[in-house]
């Protein structure tokens, strides 16, 4: 196995999420959230959280925001932020109550969000050097994938993993990685950056 990937059984603090992935998916599917006029391009997480607070304080509805690529904001990659720096975002829809309750039990979350990559989209090769600097790992928990022609993949350091509903992937995001969704439906995962302290020895 490539050293960039980790056996998911070594993360007991995340097992409830893994086992209850259908609950998380069902709450995601109940969500009817707008696209906010915000994006993540060139911004650290602290700045994004501050912008979210200001946006809602101005009377706007909380919802999805655009991700980024090498050119700027990316409308093919959307995030609905659930938690940052071990705190639940206070504007999260109450329909996500059981998901939020599970996240509140986990100590060491830097950021957690629903992440949607639209059909036919690709996130180019990139790396997060701060992952090692901050002693973090990344998790992708697939919630919505194609039932047929499921050509949605993560590649880390040259090794592919297919996004399969309910099958979590934990990896070291400081390595080069990219994501491809060549399937006919939008792929949605629960994304998390979390402390390596959660790794059982």
For 38-51, the pLDDT digits (tens) are: 988 888 889 999 99
Please list the alpha-helical segments (H only) found in the chain: 15-19, 21-30, 45-57, 97-104, 130-133
> Whole-number mean pLDDT of the chain?
95
- Measured CA to CA, the distance from residue 73 to residue 62 in angstroms comes to 18
Where in the chain are the domains? 5-196
Structure-model confidence comparison of residues 69 and 196, the more confident one: 196
| Nearest one of 162, 167, 160, 166 to 183, comparing CA atoms | 162
Given a cut of 60, whether residue 2 has pLDDT beyond it is no
Given a cut of 70, whether residue 10 has pLDDT beyond it is yes
> What percent of the chain lies above the pLDDT cut of 70?
99
* Residues 121-157 pLDDT 10s: 999 999 888 888 999 999 999 999 999 999 999 999 9
Give me the CATH code for the 5-196 domain, please.
2.60.120.330
| Tokens coding 92 | 């999260």
pLDDT band of residue 69 (cuts 50, 70, 90) is confident
Phi, psi of 139 (to 5 degrees): -125, 140
Phi, psi of 95 (to 5 degrees): -60, -15
Give pLDDT, residue 40. 83
- Measured CA to CA, the distance from residue 88 to residue 105 in angstroms comes to 11
Give pLDDT, residue 70. 75
Q: Are 156 and 197 in contact (CB under 8 A)?
A: no
pLDDT band of residue 1 (cuts 50, 70, 90) is very low
């Amino acid at each position: 196995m490539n050293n960039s990937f980790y056996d998911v059984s070594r993360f007991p603090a995340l097992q409830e999420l893994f086992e209850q992935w259908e609950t998380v998916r069902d709450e995601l599917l109940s969500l009817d959230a707008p696209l906010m006029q915000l994006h993540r391009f060139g911004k650290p997480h602290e700045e994004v959280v501050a912008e979210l607070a200001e946006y809602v304080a101005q009377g706007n509805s909380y919802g999805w925001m655009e991700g980024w690529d090498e050119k700027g904001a990316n409308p093919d990659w959307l995030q609905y932020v659930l938690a940052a720096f071990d705190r639940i975002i206070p504007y999260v829809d109450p329909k996500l109550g059981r998901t939020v309750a599970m996240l509140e039990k986990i100590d060491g979350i830097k950021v957690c969000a629903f992440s949607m990559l639209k059909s036919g989209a690709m996130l180019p090769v990139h790396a997060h050097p701060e992952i090692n600097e901050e002693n973090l790992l990344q998790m992708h928990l697939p919630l919505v994938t194609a039932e047929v022609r499921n050509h949605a993949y993560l590649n880390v350091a040259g090794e592919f993993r297919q996004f399969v509903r309910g099958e979590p992937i934990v990896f070291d995001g400081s390595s080069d990685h990219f994501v491809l969704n060549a399937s006919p439906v939008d792929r949605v995962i629960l994304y998390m950056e979390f402390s390596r302290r959660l790794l059982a020895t």
